[in-house]
Amino acid sequence: MKIRKKITLWISGAALLSTIIFSSIIFWELTEEPFKLIDKEIEHMATTLADRLRDAGSFVEDLNLNGMPYDPDHYWIMVKADQEQMLYQSKLTEFTDLSAPNKESKYLIEKHIPKSKIWLQQDSKDDVLFRVMVVREQIRGRSIEIRIAKPIEDLEEELIELAIDIGISLCLCALGIFILSYVLAGRILRPISAIIHQSREISEKSLDKRIPLGKTRDELYELSVALNKMFDRIQHSFNRQKEFIGNASHELKSPVTLLMLSQEDMLMNEALSPSAEESLMKQLDTSRRMSHLVKNLLDLSRMEQQDILHMVRLDLAVTIERVLDDYADVLTEKQILVQNQVNFPCPIMGDPEKLFRLFVNLIDNAIRYNLPAEGTIRIRVERLKTEVCIEILNSGFKIPEQDISRLFEQFYRVEKSRSQSLGGSGLGLAIAQKIVKLHNGRINITNGPNQMIQTIVCLPENS
């Protein structure tokens, strides 16, 4: 999970939890306050009724309820003496009985009362919620129980609507918090995203680029400074390495060339013994391999230090034909059958010299690692929407699967002893890959069908 999502979830979770706790407290207070008012109202009625009973000469005949704080007909009221004698009943007692024994002095009870009998704000199921209060007094030596209840179905409905409104508000609030957190997380991580984007752009071709430093000297500023210093060290080491390879290759070129000329002159001496001639031939072969290696190192160094392409419109079919013409004698000597199916124009934008070197390396590789006798090389091309793909198939021994991913590494050889005997330097495919990448293309080598090695190069028509 990305950091932005984590920050969003943490901020949203914390804010939503705080909102739920705050809303729960508010809802609890909002529900408690009406009950407190109702309890005060009922208690006031009970206290007044008890006072009237004290003033009455006879509990039943002399009870006067005129001037009560609230209309007794709007309440369910039942007054008993000694739990037996009924002293007073309000009209609501005719429709339901709330005199069930309950040890609590205040409680809620729901009763079914049809709307056809009396309207008490019933719900759709004709249920009515009552708030009941029981007051017990000692009046003139008798135990008086005053049970008063008020229908509060309308209050219950309002509380339910309030709970629904709070739930909907919480959902909308959660959505708003999530969106706001996501935007806020993006703003927090924007400098890090800039650092990541700039770091991705810094490659071996652009080691001189650096991460821009922000104005605020915070942790991200220190991170940018540390990364820039690291890129400075990498650039310095990379430049020194490229300079060393280029300088060493250049310095080796002349001595190796002179050594080869000297060996060739000595071989022209007819007075040489057979053993000396054989020894000189081995030395000359070694010198030629060294010369080939130095040439490859120089080419690789030039491409790494000067990766500028001289782009022109060229025909790949002509380039491939030129390479095959250069290798005609070698192909005839090794009895390799070439099936060149690129017999139609394939115009693309590219560097003629580098693309020529690309196919020289690939065809040279196909010749070196072909079958010992009567081998085959097949070349064909396929034009796609925006690129041209050239396939080179050569008969040869299967490449081990563990070696396929390392074929383009510098100096890597699948069979070191066989590569040395064939004169390979381990740089041909590395140079080929470098040329393809400079043209924004791709190259891949795999084991093809029928004991064939498949090399596919795809180059954009307009690099």
What size, in residues, is the chain? 463
Helix (H) or strand (E) holding 277: helix 274-305
Residue appearing with tokens 């060493």: 248
Domains of the chain (ranges, CATH numbers): 3-168 (3.30.450), 202-307 (1.10.287.130), 309-460 (3.30.565.10)
Answer whether 348's CB lies under 8 Å from 401's CB: no
Q: 144: which strand partners?
A: 81, 137
Tokens of 463: 């690099």
Residue 387: φ, ψ to 5°: -150, 165
Answer whether 108's CB lies under 8 Å from 132's CB: yes
DSSP label at residue 462: B
Q: Which long-range contacts (CB under 8 A, 24 or more apart) does 92-101 make?
A: 92/118, 92/149, 92/151, 96/128, 98/130, 98/132, 98/147, 98/149, 99/147
Answer whether 27's CB lies under 8 Å from 166's CB: yes
Of the candidates 204, 110, 106, the residue with the CA atom closest to the CA atom of residue 152: 110
Mark the ranges of the chain whose per-residue pLDDT is less than 70. 57-62, 102, 203-206, 242, 244-253, 292-293, 296-308, 413-425, 463
How far is residue 224's CA from residue 233's CA, in Å, rounded to a whole number?
14
Residue appearing with tokens 């508010």: 26
Q: 109: which strand partners?
A: 130
For 272-296, what is each residue's pLDDT tens digit?
Answer: 788 888 888 888 777 777 776 677 6
How far is residue 287's CA from residue 258's CA, in Å, rounded to a whole number?
10
Residue appearing with tokens 């709070």: 166
Confidence at residue 324, expressed as pLDDT on a 0 to 100 scale: 92
Residue appearing with tokens 């196909």: 366
Confidence at residue 369, expressed as pLDDT on a 0 to 100 scale: 85
DSSP string, 306-360: ------EEEEHHHHHHHHHHHTHHHHHHTT-EEEE---S--EEEE-HHHHHHHHH
Confidence at residue 355, expressed as pLDDT on a 0 to 100 scale: 92
Answer whether 336's CB lies under 8 Å from 376's CB: yes
DSSP label at residue 176: H
Confidence at residue 304, expressed as pLDDT on a 0 to 100 scale: 61
Answer whether 144's CB lies under 8 Å from 79's CB: yes
Tell how strand 337-340 and strand 376-383 pair up: parallel
Q: What share of the chain is helix, strand, coil (3-state, %, to 5)?
A: 55, 20, 30
Answer whether 359's CB lies under 8 Å from 348's CB: no
Q: Is the pTM of this model over 0.75?
A: no
Confidence at residue 380, expressed as pLDDT on a 0 to 100 scale: 92
Q: How far is CA 270 from CA 125, 259, 265, 276, 285, in A?
A: 125, 19, 11, 11, 20
